[in-house]
Amino acid sequence: MTTEAVKCSRAGCRSTAVGKVVWRNPRIHSENREKQWLYCAEHQVFLVDYLSTRGFFLRTEELK
């Protein structure tokens, strides 16, 4: 995955993604299932806070 081809997952954001937030909803996803949202520099904190509040946040990773 290259940063040139991907956009931030925040609604309405058209910025280029620089990383991804990895998450899981433990009520509906098994332990081996992980989902991801891409983030730009501006929305990393928002997405991490949103998922952390709900107990879904696992980790962030830089895009390569």
* pLDDT score, position 64: 83
Report pLDDT digits (tens) over 22-62. 999 999 989 899 999 999 999 999 999 999 999 999 999 99
- Give the distance, in angstroms, between the CA of residue 12 and the centroid of all CA atoms in the same chain: 15
Q: Which residues pair with 38 in a beta bridge?
A: 20
pTM, two decimal places: 0.85
Q: Which amino acid is at 36?
A: Q
Q: Look at residues 49, 51, 63 and name the one whose alpha carbon lies nearest to residue 25.
A: 51
